[in-house]
Amino acid sequence: MIFDKNKLVSIIIPTYNRIGYFKEALESALNQTYADIEIIVCDNASTDDTQVFMTSQTDKRIKYIRHEKPVSYIDNFNSWLNTSTGDFVCYLTDDDKFEPAFVEKCVKPLINDKSILLVKTGSFIMNEKSVIVGGYLPYKHSTSSGIQFILDRINPRYSEFSMLCGYMFRKSDFIKVDGVLVPGEPASHAADDYLWFRMALLGGNVKYINEKLWHYRAHSSNMAVVHSLSDFLNFSNTFTAKVIALFDKHAWEIDKNVLDYVRNEYGQDLNRTRVLNEINRNRKSSYFKALKFLYVNKKIISEYCGMKRVFLEMVLNLFLLGRTR
């Protein structure tokens, strides 16, 4: 396909004190097969060598925004807007990477079909050393309505992987929904979901690309990691209320049974699913860590999962592991 030369894509890289990972992210952005790009680095007053490194960059496609004093991460994620000249936009967080064809394959549906609001892709999962340890593909290779996209995402029985990376959208739509917003306090998880939900409700469609076109880095300092179940559950209750309010504004588009499901079950199921995910994440790290996690969070785990059942499952798995060695 011959792309329209006027369709510039802005790659946004927000960063803060991650010079090692950031260099990999920037390199992957510079290596895109789609030529018409600009790369906007939003530096949230990093105190490492990020600023020195950026002053050495000579590629004219790079634009550098530096906050001399730290701002909220949401403000940093929104700070590119007045600098960007692209028609289409994608985020690349500073600890992740793009495959070379990410932009080229994502921009095509947006150019060809004005009804497309978001393009979503699959991803590799890598560790702290950039070694691939897993991956994710969307469950379909097709186009969904914005409403269906949201329902697929919030279904707690379906594991839909969603982050700030892995999407492309129109800058004009980002402006319509007022950019990235903090979805709930005290924790600031799911600002990405809250952005995608509001975009998906603009009245268009979401295109899924069933290919792994970016690399998500799983590591201990990633914002997606839950360090406190109590903080997460406090956030979850606030976020669920925001999602319900968002749906209520579009109630005429959404089946009443779906609205009732979201109101009555979504929050509880979301919490239980996340509790189990965090138990498994700690268990994969070490049994000592998992037992400590159980002890610290015993009240919450008992409420959502049943402490005795979880503990017995861990003991059984430990016994089976010992038998196989």
- Where would I find the beta strands (DSSP E) of 130-193? 132-136, 143-145, 167-170
The pLDDT, as a whole number, for residue 1 is: 43
The pLDDT, as a whole number, for residue 320 is: 47
In the block, residue with structure tokens 């979301």: 270
Task: Note whether 25 and 96 are within 8 A (CB).
Answer: yes
The pLDDT, as a whole number, for residue 3 is: 47
The pLDDT, as a whole number, for residue 180 is: 94
The pLDDT, as a whole number, for residue 309 is: 64
Task: Note whether 217 and 95 are within 8 A (CB).
Answer: yes
Mean pLDDT by 10 residues, the chain (325 residues): 69 96 97 97 97 96 97 94 97 96 97 96 92 87 87 68 91 96 73 91 94 88 66 76 82 72 63 67 66 73 67 57 41
**DSSP designation for 269:** H
- Tell me the fold of 9-217: Spore Coat Polysaccharide Biosynthesis Protein SpsA; Chain A (3.90.550)
Give the DSSP letter string of 84-151: ---SEEEE--TT-EE-TTHHHHHHHHHHH-TTEEEEEEEEEEE-TTS-EEEEE--S-SSEEEHHHHHH
Domain boundaries of the chain, sorted by first residue: 9-217, 229-323
The pLDDT, as a whole number, for residue 176 is: 96
The pLDDT, as a whole number, for residue 4 is: 55
